[in-house]
Amino acid sequence: MAFLGIKITFNIDMKLKHLMIAFTLLCISIKGFAQVDSIKIIKAGRLLDVEKGTVLTNQLILIDHDTIKAIGPNINIPAGAKIIDLTNATVLPGLIDCHTHLTQNPGGNYYDDLFRKTPIDFAIIAHIYAKRTLDAGFTTCRDVGSTAFMDIALRNAINNGDIPGPRICAATFFIGSTGSHGDINGFSPYLQFNDSKQFRGVADGIDEVRAQVRFNIKYGADVIKFGASAGVLSEEESVGAPQYTQEEMNAIVDEAKLWGKKACAHAHGTLAIKMAVKAGVASIEHGSLLDDEAIQLMKEHGTYLDADIYNDDYILSEYAKFGTPQKIIEKEKLVGKAQRLSFQKAVKAGVKITFGTDAGVYPHGLNARQFKYMVKFGLSPMQAIQAATINAADLLGWKNKVGSITPGKFADIIAVKNDPLTDITTLEQVPFVMKGGVVYKNEGK
Quote the pTM value: 0.90
Q: How many other C-beta atoms are found inside a 10 Å radius of the C-beta of residue 407?
A: 12
> In whole angstroms, what separates CA 415 from the centre of its chain?
19
Burial 362-372 (b: 16+ CB within 10 A, else e): bebbbbbbbbb
Any residues with CB less than 8 A from the CB of 105 and at least 6 apart, and which? 125, 129, 360, 363, 364
The predicted pLDDT at position 185 comes to 67
Q: Would you say 252 and 208 are in contact if contact means Cβ atoms under 8 Å apart? A: no
- Give the β-pairing of 167-170 and 223-227: unpaired
CA–CA dist 95, 331 (Å, integer): 31
Cβ pair 180, 205 in contact under 8 A: no
Q: Contact at 8 Å (CB) between 85 and 43?
A: yes
Beta-ladder partners of 283: 264, 304
36 contacts: CB under 8 Å, gap ≥ 6: 80, 81, 82
Bridge partners, residue 2, by sequence: 7
pLDDT computed for residue 17 by the predictor: 41
Eight-state DSSP code of residue 242: B
pLDDT tens per residue across all 445 residues of the chain:
333 333 333 343 444 344 333 333 333 333 333 333 689 999 999 999 999 999 999 999 999 999 999 999 999 999 999 999 999 999 999 999 999 999 999 887 877 887 788 889 999 999 999 999 999 999 999 999 998 999 999 999 999 999 999 999 999 999 999 988 888 766 777 776 666 777 889 999 999 999 999 999 999 999 999 999 988 888 777 888 999 999 999 999 999 999 999 999 999 999 999 999 999 999 999 999 999 999 999 999 999 999 999 999 999 999 999 888 898 898 898 899 999 999 999 999 999 999 999 999 999 999 999 999 999 999 999 999 999 999 999 999 999 999 999 999 999 999 999 999 999 999 999 999 999 999 999 997 6
Domains of the chain in start order, with CATH, are 2-35 (no CATH), 38-92+409-442 (2.30.40.10), 95-396 (3.20.20.140)
Contacts of 263 (CB under 8 A, 6+ apart): 223, 224, 225, 226, 252, 253, 256, 257, 279, 280, 281, 282
Look up residue 285 and give its DSSP letter. E
> What is the model's pLDDT at position 444?
76
Q: Name which of 419, 429, 413, 415 is nearest 366 in CA terms.
A: 429
Candidates 118, 126, 226; CA nearest to 172 is 226
- Report the alpha-carbon angle 55-58-61, nearest 5: 90
Task: Give the separation between CA 272 and CA 280, rounded to whole angstroms.
Answer: 13
Strands 413-416 and 432-435: antiparallel
Task: Tell me how far CA of residue 129 lies from CA of 100, 106, 154, 209, 324, in angstroms.
Answer: 10, 11, 11, 31, 22
Query: β-pairing, 167-170 with 82-93?
Result: unpaired
pLDDT reported for residue 117: 84
